[in-house]
Structure 1
Amino acid sequence: MTTFETDAVSQTPRGEAARTSEQPVRWSVPLALLACVLLAFFDKISIAALFSDEQFQQAMGIGFDTTRLGLLMSVFLLSYGFSSVFLSGLGDRIAPVKLLTGMMVVWCVLMALMGITHSYAGMMALRILLGIAEGPLFPLAFAIIRHAFPARLQARATMMWLLGTPLGAAIGFPLSIWLLNAFGWQSTFFTMALLTLPVLALVRIGLRHVRMQPARGRETASADERRTARRELFASPHFWMICVFNIAFLTYLWGINGWLPGYLIKGKGIHLEHAGWMSSLPFIAMLLGEAIGAWLSDRMDRRALACFISMAGAAAGLALVLNLSGPLPTIAAMSFSTFMWGVGAPNIFALLAKATRPGVSATAGGIFNGLGNFAGALSPVVMGALIAFTHSMDSGLLFLVAIAALGCALLLPLLTRY
């Protein structure tokens, strides 16, 4: 595949112009990454379906202890964020197919071990190891797309594998619940382990042409060059601005994921029998936003502007929700907000690519993804505390509006450059 070098002034991939018919764009790459992200999301959420299962509680020896059950998810998120920050640099040194293959083999083994574990401490340890093993996935996917696609197609290619997260939620929860009810809690882990095998085959086939070469065509970069590139990355104010913007971006996502159904029921008085299908409409709108935003931004190549408009639109939609009543107007405004957020999702990775050098793609993506998930995962907790303190569901949405406004302000210096 073509190697892309970034000009320090223009931020334009030099290798794009050199692409020939012998170096085609291969859409099998993001499709393989989509399958990988789907599998990882299944592994991530499968345990949530077990929290109310008495047999699982008895096997762990904890009963319905919500704190200890919740910790099984929390320790995963913490180790995932840690791994994303500190281990993603492996993607700049190890061939992507080899690294992904090794990661997926570890996922398979860990899921199988969870299926035979009858110890809470053992399950905690395995969840921590799973978080460490999955942490480099998003940074690696970002680096692969950056090297395998010209800049004009990167948002669309990124959108394809990012869809694995909402699709994973839409498919993974029903699948886990069905397996639990039909075959018992252990079957959920064993099934996820078996699903690794066909996904691994897709990854081996889909990524077989990817060759992530360092700049200027050399097969390996010296340790001095890597250290220099990392120093430039860490000293870049634009890189850190984008990282902080991503914190605001993911704070919105985690806040909406955690509180949307509760807000519709408690905050707007929408009846429980209506809230189920209504609460899914904003996420359908989010998917549409991702697809449309990726296509438009690749045509315009104004990544910072696209992210700015996305976050500003999401905040405006939430502000509108606060001033509306009735099920249909409320859900329409909420769907507009999530649609606008979706417009920015693929663009934020493309913005990161424009602001950083190719040689540290995985390192940059790891810090970017890890910090965003660390801080974003606190959003539901902060919103819950605000709601409890003010006795108003609206205070949670006001928090998201304020965070979105802060994110927009951070992008102002980048609008004309990227």
Structure 2
Amino acid sequence: MTTAHEIDGCAVTPNARAEAEKETAQPVRWSVPMALFACVLLAFFDKISIAALFSDTGFQRALGIDFDPTRLGLLMTAFLLSYGLSSTLLSGIGDRISPKKLLLGMMCVWCVLMIMMGFTHSYSGMMTLRILLGIAEGPLFPLAFSIVRHAFPQRLQARATMLWLLGTPIGAAVGFPVTLYILNHAGWQATFFVMAALTLPVILWVWLGLRHVAEPPRAVARTAQGQAGERREERRQLLRQPHFWLICLFNITFLTYLWGMNGWLPSYLIDGKGIHLEHASYLSSLPFIAMLLGEVIGAWFSDRVNRRALSCFISMLGAGAGLLMVLHLSNTYAVIAAMAFSTFMWGAGAPNIFALLAKATSRQVSATAGGIFNGLGNFAGALAPVVMGVLIATFHDMDTGLMFLTAVAAVGCLMLLPLLKHY
């Protein structure tokens, strides 16, 4: 049985210590996070494209529903629930087989599913395809986390993580206006077909960027009893670590904010603040551009000070404060400015939460830890769109959705208090 030691304040096995000593000798290939960026960007297009269709009457008629906030929110929630379950249960495969083969296979499935969505004319059919898309995309973030964890030293992990995480805000900043443009000029079906067509160049980019990525060390000798026993012990240590679970709880609140914003931001601007659709198409992208800037600045700052938990705390506190300002503003540009401040602060914490997880867990179970972390976060965060939809439908007030996200941000800050001195 392995014995745990301390590295950077974290309990790790002797094998993990040896891996940590070798990490500085590894060549740093920035093509790796850039390839992962392309993959995340594509996946985020697929995720949020449907949210831009919520207010489209043609899409509603095709599915046989009117503007029903609860049922429309369920289309996003169904995806996220299956996404979280898949991330939790399937991501451990990334500790055993080639991540490159997994990612390429996953993208082929995404392409097929997006084409099928374009031909779907029923609510139940769209719901089924959204669930399947969630299953197919579930392992993406844990795989990306694991690849960067093994390819980059701790001192560069926030910046390397930031590079592929930029696919999230850029995907939202570009995805919403592009989807709305396609919707207005070619109809709702074309939005899915265009997303499917984008898969082909991304597959090539990922293949080139990850061509130097080797299989995880465990994949070479995964049949050995000693390796299997060591892996089980590392997993037991992970599951017994209180700090790991606090980070997972914080991530639940962190992703609740993200998916609440992604699910309802365009509709909130149009129906809640009275912004015309033609203006909302570009104004809705500005908060996500701010999120992008937040990720860049937050990653640089956190790598400099190496206070991962504090960086995440300040990030979530600022995100909640920004939403409070939005609730009390009516001027269009003031609303967008406050929303942008909120998303900027959220973005500053995005790469740091992965660096925090890396600092608190063993490298040898990176995909497993990342899967549980990402899966639980998305599984719980999946409730945000439908909860917000229910609140909006019940109180007939779009502001109630933002009040919910503000309360969630406050809870997230509380989750980090015990970690501030350790990480």
Q: TM range, normalised to the smaller chain?
A: 0.7 to 0.9
Give the gaps of 5 or more residues in structure 1: 1-5
Kindly provide the amino acid, as one letter, of the partner of residue 322 in structure 2: G
1:227 aligns with 2:225: no
Query: Contact (CA 8 Å) 2:299, 2:352: kept in 1 or not?
Result: yes
Tell me how far 1:153 sits from its aligned partner.
Answer: 1.0
CA drift of 1:383 comes to 4.1
In structure 1, distance between residues paired with 2:117 and 2:395: 41
Pairwise CA distance, 1:387: 5.5
User: Which range is displaced more, 361-370 or 107-116?
Assistant: 107-116
Shift of 1:118: 5.9
Q: For the Cα contact (< 8 Å) 2:326–2:339, is it kept in 1? A: yes
Q: Percent identity?
A: 69
Cα deviation code 1:329-386 (max 9, x no counterpart): 5544433322211110110011111111112211211221122122223234434555
- Letter of the structure 1 residue corresponding to residue 94 of structure 2: G
> Which residue of structure 2 aligns with residue 8 of structure 1?
6
Could you say if the C-alpha distance between residues 180 and 396 of structure 1 is closer, same or farther in structure 2, counting changes exceeding 3 Å?
Answer: closer
| Structure 1 residue 20 displacement after superposition | 6.5
CA distance in 2, matches of 1:357, 1:269: 49
Of the three residues 350, 357, 381, the one matched with 1:376 is: 381
Contact 2:260/2:384, CA 8 A, preserved across alignment: yes
Given that 2:291 and 2:346 are in contact with CA atoms closer than 8 Å, whether structure 1 keeps it comes out as yes
Aligned to 2:422, the other structure's residue is in SS state: coil
1:61-100 to 2 correspondences below 5 Å: 62=64, 64=66, 66=68, 71-100=74-103
Change (3 A) 1:211 1:44: same
Q: Which residue of 1 aligns with 2:132?
A: 129
Distance 1:269 1:32, change over 3 A: closer
Q: Deviations over 1:147-189 (max 9, x none)?
A: 1111111111111111112222233344445555666655444
Count, aligned residues: 409
Q: Per-residue displacement from partner, 1:112-170 (whole Å, max 9, x unpaired)?
A: 44455566655443332221111111111111111111111111111111111222223
213, 218, 221: which one aligns with 1:210 = 213
Report the Cα distance in structure 1 between the residues aligned to 2:177 and 2:336, rounded to whole angstroms: 23
Task: Give the alignment of 1:305-316 within 5 angstroms.
Answer: 305-316=310-321
Check conservation: 1:259, 1:380, Cα contact below 8 A: yes
Paired residues of 2:97 and 2:216 also in contact (CA < 8 A): no
Query: Hey, what's the Cα distance between the residues in 2 that align with 1:241 and 1:20?
Result: 29
**Aligned CA distance change for structure 1 residues 114 and 354 (closer, same or farther; 3 Å):** same
Matched position secondary structure for 1:87: helix
Contact 2:98–2:214 (8 Å) recurs in 1: yes
Q: Does 1:138 align with 2:141?
A: yes
Q: CA deviation at 1:84?
A: 1.1
Query: Matches of residues 142-221 of structure 1 in structure 2 within 5 Å?
Result: 142-179=145-182, 186-214=189-217, 219-220=221-222
Aligned amino acid, residue 409 of structure 1: L
Alignment of 1:350-369 (within 5 A): 350-369=355-374
What is the Cα-based RMSD across aligned positions, in Å? 3.5
Distance in 2, matches of 1:337 and 1:104, equals: 32
- Give the distance between the partners of 1:277 and 1:382, measured in 2 at CA: 26
SS for the counterpart of 2:6 is coil
Residue 218 of structure 1: CA displacement? 6.8
- Distance (Å, rounded) in 1 between the aligned partners of 2:331 and 2:128: 46
Distance 1:14 1:346, change over 3 A: farther
What is the TM-score when the length of structure 1 is the normalising length?
0.84
C-alpha spacing 1:214/1:237, structure 2 compared with 1 (3 Å): farther
Look up the equivalent residue of 1:369 and give its one-letter code.
N
Consecutive unaligned residues of structure 2, counting only runs of 5 or more, are 11-16
Asked if 1:283 is matched to 2:288, the reply is yes
Output the CA distance in 2 between the equivalents of 1:259 and 1:316: 19
What TM-score, normalized by structure 2, do the two folds share?
0.83
- The whole-number CA distance in structure 2 between the counterparts of 1:88 and 1:191 is 28
Equivalences for residues 16-31 of structure 1 within 5 A? 18=22, 23-31=26-34
CA 1:90–1:308: 2 relative to 1, 3 Å: same
The change in CA–CA distance for 1:129 and 1:315 in structure 2 (over 3 A counts) is closer
Q: Which has the higher contact order (CA 8 A, sep 6+)?
A: 2
Change (3 A) 1:55 1:169: closer
d(CA) in 2 for partners of 1:249 and 1:92? 25
Which whole-Å CA distance do the structure 1 matches of 2:33 and 2:370 have between them?
16
Partner Cα separation in structure 2 for residue 321 and residue 65 of structure 1: 24
The separation in 2 between residues aligned to 1:122 and 1:268, in whole angstroms, is 32
Offset of residue 44 of structure 1: 2.6
For 2:104 and 2:40, the matched residues in 1 are separated by 13
In structure 1, what is the equivalent of residue 242 of structure 2? 237
